Structure 1
Amino acid sequence: MKTYTSGEKAGGFEDKAQQLETTCGKCGGLLVLRKVPQRAFYGCSHFPNCRFTKPIDSK
């Protein structure tokens, strides 16, 4: 699992995100842990071109 730091880009956005070994079910990109004020979820690293998301509790 790779942790991006500010200054590095994860899926076109500068943020602190953890990249998983799991791939996107839609385009094959890597899933990245995204955290927003309301929740956390896994999102495709190719965002905004691919908007695939997966809930944290889903394995």
Structure 2
Amino acid sequence: MDAQRAKAILESPDMIAVKLEGEPVWIEHVDMENSMATVQVGTNPGNTQTVKTARLEEK
């Protein structure tokens, strides 16, 4: 997905499913300038990754 869509999902009051390589993730932050997103993988708050928004899939 593009950075604009990732930001829209982050700011949405709705729960929108997003996956990273088949794993469910929660978007925590979007860096619009660099098209990067910090995501929480699964349910573990300590398991965060910063990835290109292009790697994220809306499900």
- TM-score normalised according to structure 2 size: 0.34
Higher relative contact order (CA 8 A, sep 6+): 2
- TM-score normalised according to structure 1 size: 0.34
